[in-house]
Amino acid sequence: MGLGALLKKILGAGDSGQGEKAESLGEPIEYKGYEIFLQPRSLGGQFGVGGLIRKTVDGEVREHVFIRADQAPSRDLCNEITLQKARNAIDTLGDSLFPKS
């Protein structure tokens, strides 16, 4: 099992339960045909940067989970940093964010 698959399994980003999972992720932020889901995590008074990038490619929903070492003192600031990191990843890597099946 690769690191990406392990992170997806740990964070609940697998293929099953798409509808239920989408509800728990909150509202996506649309960016250049991708959906960005913000997933800040509580780290002892700080918030850790992380999220999920999703796109439908050739009729298949593809997902990329990312977790960064960055921390912020508030959830709002963490969300801003996460959105910036996700947009940068999309701009830099595009569809190569998603491994070939």
Mean pLDDT of all residues in 76-89: 97
Per CATH, domain 3-97 is 3.40.50.2300: no
Tokens of 42: 């509580």
Question: From residue 100, how far is each of 30, 34, 55, 63, 64 by CA, in Å?
Answer: 23, 17, 14, 12, 12
Mean pLDDT of all residues in 73-78: 96
Which residue bears the tokens 């940068």? 88
Q: What is the pLDDT of residues 7-63, one digit of tens each?
A: 555 555 444 444 444 447 789 999 999 999 999 999 999 999 999 999 998 889 999
Q: Report the predicted TM-score, pTM, of the whole model to 2 decimal places.
A: 0.75
Q: Name 44's Cβ contacts closer than 8 Å, sequence gap at least 6.
A: none
Distance CA 72, CA 58 (A): 37
pLDDT of residue 23: 47
In the three-class reduction of DSSP (H, G, I as helix; E, B as strand; rest coil), residue 46 is classed as strand
pLDDT of residue 66: 95
